[in-house]
Amino acid sequence: MTTYMVVIMTTLVLMSIYIIGVLGENLYENEQIKLYEKANIISDSIAPHLLEENMSTVDNYMLQQLTGTGIRGIVVNPSFNVLVDSNRELNGTVLMRDVIKTASEGTQAHTLLKDSSDMNMMTIAVPVIKKETEAIIGVVYLVESVAQIDKTIGFVRFNLFLFSALICILVGLLSFGMSYIVTSPVDDFTKIANEISKGNFEKRVAVKGKNEFSKLAMAINFMCSELSNLEDNRKKFISDASHELKTPLATIKLICDSVVSTPDPDPEMIQEFLKDLSDEVDRLTRIVERLLKLTKLDSGKSAPNPVPTDITALLNSVLKKLTPTANAKDIVLYSDYKITECAPLMLDFDKMWEAVYNITDNAIKYTDEGGFVKLGLNKEGKEIIIQIEDNGPGIPYEEQEHIFDRFYRLDDSRARDTGGTGLGLAIAKEAVILHGGRIEVSSEQGMGSTFSIYIPATLECEKSDNKI
């Protein structure tokens, strides 16, 4: 702020000095031109009378020209003797001035000097020339006070400096006012930013008005909300992951303690313990592998590696892989494709295969024996739709928005019996989003569920009613 004030003050002072300089130069130049004109008129008029040495006529003419002007007129001969003085003070004396000497040599001259009272005086000297011979027969010397000009310049100078001071004061007040208006919300933003840096995401900036600051405040508040949600999810994820890892680890510890504390354990018991131990290790391995997959998806390190993919072949591969699992539960797993011929899509085969696999496997696990799971394929507009439908118990409406959360389970005990980790649907969603698609779920309790995967596609597909 101080720097701005100094710059403004310096600019105004320099501007004032320039204006005063230009004004003074212009006023002095105009007065000088006026004196030159009067001196030349007098010189031309008195030349004949000066040759005749008719000083009374010269004196009368001089008085006639200068009366009421405040100008003093003096006529000297080439020897610098004063022939006529309008003030009657120097008649008969010798008057030597530089401008008179210059004029006596045939060149007009002027200068500014100070009189005995320290007042600025402007002097003009022009030669009196005999027209017939061009000889210099005298000099007309005019002296005029420029006090009025100096007074005008002083008046303008005072008002300019006063105006500059008022401008500086006004600018200062406006600057401080604007500074307060600007810095006040900035201070609030800074305080909130400091709180955010300390991990306090509950702070909010007051939104005032509808200007740029209010938009920034809303953006900061939105960021705080997002960071708060992110922090809550992070804490929940750590808690869930710790809980998931703790359970099999506790089981492994219990099995090991049981074996160690049993004297001469029976080989069959050891075999059974080792089988349980292997199951828990497999469970740990699945959890860790899926956590690593999610970490890669979150960090962007697992970028898609798109290759031309026959979507029908991908679905058939999932069917083939899961058919034994479905048969073991007496569940009918089949396909119902509305399109049979589709140009290859640029997809990461492994990631999309795993997304479809996880959802289908989840449907089989949660469908009762004797039920069905159907894989569908269709196209609407510029989207390919993969549908996984079952007639299982369905998903309560209030829980549908959470089923893609990590470690979320509708039936925790049943999920543990089936070996679920609560990460399959989360991985499926991330994989589909990675391809620019989305997943939607439609479900009613007791009526089953339908998961729809929408994949962007711009290639033409042929429709058919044939079923595979």
pLDDT by residue (tens digit) across 401-440?
Answer: 778 876 666 654 444 444 555 677 887 888 888 888 889 9
Tell me the CATH class for 307-463: alpha beta
Model confidence band, residue 374 (pLDDT cutoffs 50, 70, 90): very high
The pLDDT tens digits for 440-460 are 999 888 889 999 999 887 544
pLDDT at position 239 is: 67
The pLDDT tens digits for 322-365 are 999 899 999 999 998 888 777 788 888 888 888 898 899 889 98
Residue whose C-alpha is closest to residue 311's, from 361, 358, 379: 379
Question: Taking 50 as the threshold, does the pLDDT of residue 465 lie above it?
Answer: no
User: Mean pLDDT over residues 376-397, rounded?
Assistant: 88
CATH architecture entry for 212-299 = Orthogonal Bundle (1.10)
The burial of 118, by beta-carbon neighbours within 10 Å (0-12 exposed, 13-18 middle, 19 or more buried), is given as exposed
Helix, strand or coil, per DSSP, at residue 63 = helix
Task: Name 64's bridge partners.
Answer: none
Residue whose C-alpha is closest to residue 139's, from 117, 123, 115, 155: 123
Question: Taking 80 as the threshold, does the pLDDT of residue 39 lie above it?
Answer: yes
Helix, strand or coil, per DSSP, at residue 99 = helix
Return the CATH number of the domain spanning residue range 2-153.
Answer: 3.30.450.20
Distance CA(422)–CA(425), nearest Å, equals 7
Q: Which helix (H) or strand (E) holds 171?
A: helix 147-197
Residue with tokens 């699945």: 286
Task: Name 388's bridge partners.
Answer: 375, 451
The structure's pTM equals 0.47
User: Mean pLDDT over residues 114-139, rounded?
Assistant: 87
Report which of residues 121 and 9 the model is more confident about: 121
Distances (CA, A) of 317 to 202, 207, 250, 360, 375: 48, 55, 37, 12, 12
The burial of 358, by beta-carbon neighbours within 10 Å (0-12 exposed, 13-18 middle, 19 or more buried), is given as buried
Question: What is the 8-class DSSP label of residue 423?
Answer: -
User: Mean pLDDT over residues 306-310, rounded?
Assistant: 85
Give the count of alpha carbons within 13 A of 172, CB side only. 11
Domain residues of the chain, as ranges? 2-153, 212-299, 307-463
